[in-house]
Structure 1
Amino acid sequence: MHHIKAILFDKDGTLFDFHASWAGWAEGELNALAEGDPLRRADLARAIGFDLATRGFAPDAPIIASTLQETAALMVPHLPGVALPDLIARLRSSGARAEMVPAVPLRPLMLRLRAHGLVLGIATNDAESAAHMHLDRAGISDQFDQVLGYDSGFTPKPAPDMLHAFARATGHDSAAVLMVGDSLHDLTAGRAAGMMTMAVLTGIAKAADLSPMADLLAPDIGHLPDLLGLE
């Protein structure tokens, strides 16, 4: 692991606990969009893979790794009279305001990684502007050399485009970059980019789902220093 010079993180489910961060937001948006119609609410929930009874996401919920545009496209057929661009704008705005719950204490971890000379970045299928807002509120926006979202000009994950862009921008060969994420989209992108991959279990996917595509597997990103052999 001493050949790793940079770490590229997914955001939701990796830096931030997915369920703790997004379940409340999803429930609130579904209630608001349904406007008191229980059938519409159920249809919207089903479209994004949200279980209204448990207030949780299904393991295969499309919202987990989808871009904002993809999520809105799943919902808009159940919202008569709502235009897709308007729904995208609404979800972008409300999602940026969602209260993110860190998976671990983030700033001490990022400072420790950077102290060992590691270059850090974000590749998320969320909007770039929302990612910056979430990182800023978590007090870690200054720790990343590059933040890329689905709307940053590159094909989103599971394509490797964002990952290649990060490697080019930071001057590192892909083999020297570790891609860390909580979904198969993250790991598939990492493998396609020629990077090492690390799966964490702070998203929705289980270890059995992720391990075939992961070079490393850990409960959360707090295990990174030990796995990298940092003092």
Structure 2
Amino acid sequence: MIDAVIFDKDGTLFDFRRTWGVWSARLLADLAGGDAARAMDLGRAIGFDPLRQTFAPDSPVIADTAETVARYLLPRLPGADLAGLVAQMNALAERVEPAEVVPLAPLLAGLRGRGLRLGLVTNDAEAPARAHLAAAGVTGMFDFVAGFDSGHGAKPDPAPLLAFARAQAVAPARVVMVGDSLHDLYAGRAAGMRTVAVLTGIAGAEDLAPHADTVLPDIGALAGWIDRLAPLPA
């Protein structure tokens, strides 16, 4: 029943708060030139408290692209330009130390051992995404990696998910989209795929459940769910 799995990255493979709280605080400190009050003002623009390193539920950092986040910040940064700000954000993102939700290498190896093709579709840029996979030692586990700048569009548009299906020659109905945000689930449903929500991002089960085939605590429970859909031969 399932031939392939597409993962979101942040909040799905990597714990969102532990990974991106540090990044957001560092970015705002850099942009504010060390001025704590200015950093707080910039944080309000993107739904982030740099002192407590907490995100508002509607923060664009959670699921939107770096370009979208930059557009929220630009009105508070006189003289800054969009391309330069996005480049600064992506350069800082490449140096982030991603916090794995669960040990990724054995989990992904187990899925590949079931004959599944694996993809990563993130609204982060592709270069930071690949850097994070490399840091976790799992780049080779993925058959397809796409960021918002890879030429396929960005979630909730289903286009990057469908690009994966075409590249792997699998029917969308036999693909599972796994993510922690409504962007992930909307994209998966629009692509005609099964959708699995995980609770390692910011959104809660009550928001995700109406748009998912199941809600799991984290991706560590994914293999068991797949096995219950299509039991392995005895």
With normalisation by structure 2, the TM-score equals 0.95
Question: Cα distance, 1:62 vs. partner?
Answer: 1.2
The alpha carbon displacement at 1:53 in A equals 4.3
Task: Report the counterpart of residue 103 of structure 1 in structure 2.
Answer: 101
Q: Which residue of 2 aligns with 1:51?
A: 49
TM-score by length of 1: 0.96
Contact kept in structure 1, 2:45 and 2:72, CA below 8 Å: yes
Q: Which of 53, 57, 79 in structure 2 is aligned with 1:81?
A: 79
Assess if the C-alpha contact under 8 Å between 2:28 and 2:50 holds in 1: no
User: Out of 129, 140, 145, which is 1:131 matched to?
Assistant: 129
> Paired residue for 2:145, among 132, 144, 147?
147
- After TM superposition, the structure 1 stretch with the greater mean CA deviation from structure 2, 72-81 or 206-215, is 72-81
Q: Which runs of 5+ in 1 are unaligned?
A: none
Deviant stretches of 4+, over 4 Å: none
CA distance in 1, matches of 2:220, 2:137: 17
Counterpart of 1:214? 212
Q: Distance in 2 between matches of 1:33 and 1:216?
A: 40
Which amino acid letter does the alignment assign opposite residue 13 of structure 1? G
Tell me the CA shift for residue 59 of structure 1.
1.3
Where does residue 33 of structure 1 map in the other structure?
31
Deviations 1:19-48 (A, max 9, x none): 010101111111111113344212210111
> Are residues 188 and 30 of structure 1, via their aligned partners in 2, closer, same or farther at CA, if it must alter by over 3 Å?
same
| SS at 2:61 equivalent | helix
Residue equivalent to 2:197: 199
2:18 pairs with 17, 20, 23, which one? Answer: 20
Which residues of structure 2 form unaligned runs of 5+?
Answer: none
What is the alpha-carbon distance in structure 2 between the residues aligned to residue 67 and residue 178 of structure 1? 22
Q: Kindly state the Cα deviation for residue 63 of structure 1 after the two structures are TM-superposed.
A: 1.1
- Distance in 2 (CA, whole Å) between partners of 1:171 and 1:103 is 29
Percent identity reads 52
The letter of the residue matching 2:54 is G
- How many pairs are equivalent? 229
Corresponding residue SS for 1:204: coil
The 3-state SS of whatever aligns with 1:64 is coil
Distance 1:219 1:11 in 2: 16
Residue 119 (structure 2) aligns with: 121
Answer yes or no: is the 8 Å Cα contact 1:160–1:189 preserved in 2.
yes
Rounded to whole Å, the distance in 2 between the matches of 1:75 and 1:152 is 23
| The 10-residue stretch of structure 1 (52-61 or 7-16) with the greater mean CA deviation from structure 2 | 52-61
Q: Distance in 1 between matches of 2:27 and 2:167?
A: 36
Q: Distance in 1 between matches of 2:191 and 2:34?
A: 46
Task: State the distance in 2 between where 1:91 and 1:150 align.
Answer: 14
Secondary structure (helix, strand or coil) at the match of 2:215 reads strand
CA distance in 1, matches of 2:186, 2:2: 19
